[in-house]
Amino acid sequence: MAVVNMIPLFVCMARNNFVGHAVEVGFDIWNLFHRWIGRVVVLESVAHMLAWTVNKVDQAGWEGLNEALRISHFYQVGLMAEIALILIAFLSTSPLRHANYEFFLSMHQLLVAFFVAGVWWHLYIDMLPQMVYCNVAIAIWVADRVFRILRILRNNIRWRRKGLLSNVAEVAPLKGGDAVRFSVELSTPFKYRPGTHAYLYVPRIGWWQSHPFSIAWTSAEESKQAVGATQMPDKHHEPQKTTTPKKTTMHFIISKHDGFTRALYDAAQSAAATADPEKLENGCVLKVLGLVEGPYGGHHSLDSFGTVVLVAGGVGITHCLGYVRHLLHGYNEGTVATQRVKLVWVIRKSEHIHWVSDWLEEILRMPLCRRVLEVDIYITRPSTTISGDEWAGHGGLVNVHVGRPEFEIVLEKVVRRRIGAMAVTVCGGGAVSDSVRAATLKFVDQATIDFSEESFTW
């Protein structure tokens, strides 16, 4: 059973999970399954080993057991796989996993290699019939890696007369600190779906590391007939309909933590300190080789809900903005059921508004925005250098508040004025998600509400 269960175990960890794609379930759920199936595999394989041990000791005593382990490759590699599996289980516990994710990941991959090699050899020596399941699991792992490499090549490598060229990412530290904007032009145009994320590789900063980030915004440079258009067509600007995007740029907002993100932030800051302000393009100070793998996810569509509430905590805004733009565009085109969109963004510092202010402005300029959208920004620790006053010009579409939101009050107002079924989605730290979930629960008897969360971690 342990060997058979290696198949779903490996399916669940694949970034290119075609089953997940078909049933429209995101990677974080599969990751949860991966962890639980992993625990089942550990229990099954420990039971297998204990059953054999008890039997052996019963038949030949402890000397017999020692002898078997000393002379038999079959048992030695089985024991190697068992030890690797137990270590994997121990290292995967949440505190250890989050303490140093990169260390966990490297050790996990190394131990998995020992585990799979041990199992395969164990089965191969006696040509056991379970071999086929092990081979299928290995094939799933190989296929995922191949697809990942193909995605990287498709997104990042282009062939020109000069030879092979790869993407150069532009990194700009953002006003107010704590984050950078990372923009990278893809070699192949792609169709954006809200809620998608991609893995970024910046070898100069993080060697082989790849980190997931939500695609906060996309822009596309159209063919010569239409200039400077955004990727989503707009019925009030007809030329966009007839053109195909030639270049797509993905934009990410990366907030700093302690590892890769801090190193990237520090590199952008030190480049900014020495840069000549007159030569800066779009505020970009650092150009680095930046590879994008993806997009992944984006299975959760909000198109069929009459009322949509999106709550973002801090950098969680990257998950929400794409939905807002998509729903507004859909409203204009008549392709979504959504009539009301409420965006609630909770930030610590006033300056964090600058992370996405230009994109927010672009959204607020979209046709019929006033009919559909309402934005509430809550600043929990406002500074004196910036206030929300600059947003007052948007005719009451953006309300800036000081302090934490009372989500129950916010939701109550939306529930009262709702049209059709409601979707509430939250992307933020644990506290914001918990409060929104608890507040949503209070209204499930009064309205049809679909609740979803994105936690930015797994």
Ligand X SMILES: Cc1cc2nc3c(=O)[nH]c(=O)nc-3n(C[C@H](O)[C@H](O)[C@H](O)COP(=O)(O)OP(=O)(O)OC[C@H]3O[C@@H](n4cnc5c(N)ncnc54)[C@H](O)[C@@H]3O)c2cc1C
Both structure tokens of 18:
């075609």
Nearer to ligand X, 213 or 305 (CB): 213
Nearer to ligand X, 108 or 437 (CB): 108
First to last CA, the chain: 26
Residue nearest to ligand X (CB): 259
Among 14, 180, 309, 315, binds ligand X (CB under 6 A): 315
* Beta-bridge partner residues of 297: 196
Minimum gap (Å) between residue 2 Cβ and ligand X: 27
Q: Is 101 in the site for ligand X (CB under 6 A)?
A: yes
> What's phi and psi for 397, nearest 5 deg?
-70, -30
Closer residue to ligand X (CB): 66 or 457: 457
Give CA–CA dist 118/113, Å, rounded.
8
Torsion of CA 305, 441, 370, 356, to 10 degrees: -100
Q: Residues with Cβ < 8 Å from 247, sequence gap 6 or more?
A: 185, 186, 189, 220, 221
- Residue 330 touching ligand X (CB under 6 A): no
Least CB distance from residue 257 to ligand X, whole Å? 3
The tokens describing 445, both together, are 């008897």
Cα separation of 14 and 212, whole Å?
A: 14
Which letter does DSSP use for residue 341 in this model?
E
- If the CB atoms of residues 108 and 401 are measured against ligand X, the closer one turns out to be 108
Q: Which of 34, 181, 211, 342 binds ligand X (CB under 6 A)?
A: 211
CB of 250 to ligand X, least distance (A): 11
Q: Which region among 39-47, 205-213, 298-306, 410-418 touches ligand X (by CB under 6 A)? A: 205-213
Nearest approach, Cβ of residue 393 and ligand X (Å): 28
Six token digits for residue 313: 């905590």
Helix ranges (H only) for 239-368 are: 239-242, 260-274, 317-333, 357-364
Residue 458 as a binder of ligand X (CB under 6 A): the answer is yes
Choose between 331 and 345: whose C-beta lies nearer to ligand X: 345
Nearest residue to 343 via CA among 368, 367, 323, 371: 323
d(CA 126, CA 133): 15
78: burial class by Cβ within 10 Å (0-12, 13-18, 19+)?
buried
Which of 140, 141, 125, 132 has the alpha carbon at shortest distance from 78? 125
Binding region for ligand X (CB under 6 A) out of 43-51, 208-216, 398-406, 436-444: 208-216
The reply to whether 260 sits near ligand X by the rule CB under 6 A is yes
Residues 394-453 that bind ligand X (CB under 6 A): none
Residue 322 contacts ligand X per CB under 6 A: no
Between 258 and 276, whose beta carbon lies closer to ligand X?
A: 258
Nearer to ligand X, 305 or 456 (CB): 456
Q: Which of 192, 213, 305, 359 binds ligand X (CB under 6 A)?
A: 213
Closer to ligand X by CB, 196 or 231: give it: 196
Please tell me the distance from the alpha carbon of residue 283 to that of residue 278, in angstroms, as a whole number.
10
Residue placing its CB nearer to ligand X in the complex, 294 or 382: 294
Q: How many residues bind ligand X (CB under 6 A)?
A: 22
Q: Which is nearer to ligand X, 97 or 158 (CB)?
A: 97
Residue 308 in the binding site for ligand X (CB under 6 A): no
3-state secondary structure of 160: strand
Q: Is 257 in the site for ligand X (CB under 6 A)?
A: yes
Q: Which of 224, 215, 228, 161 is nearest to 186 (CA)?
A: 215
Stretch that binds ligand X, among 210-218, 274-282, 283-291, 396-404 (CB under 6 A): 210-218
Task: Decide if residue 192 touches ligand X (CB under 6 A).
Answer: no
Q: Which stretch binds ligand X (CB under 6 A): 81-89, 114-122, 181-189, 250-258?
A: 250-258
Out of 261, 350, 433, 435, name the contact with ligand X by CB under 6 A.
261
From the list 221, 281, 294, 304, the residue with the least C-alpha distance to 252 is: 294
Judged by the rule CB under 6 A, the positions of this chain that interact with ligand X are 98, 101, 197, 211-214, 252-255, 257-262, 315, 318, 456-458
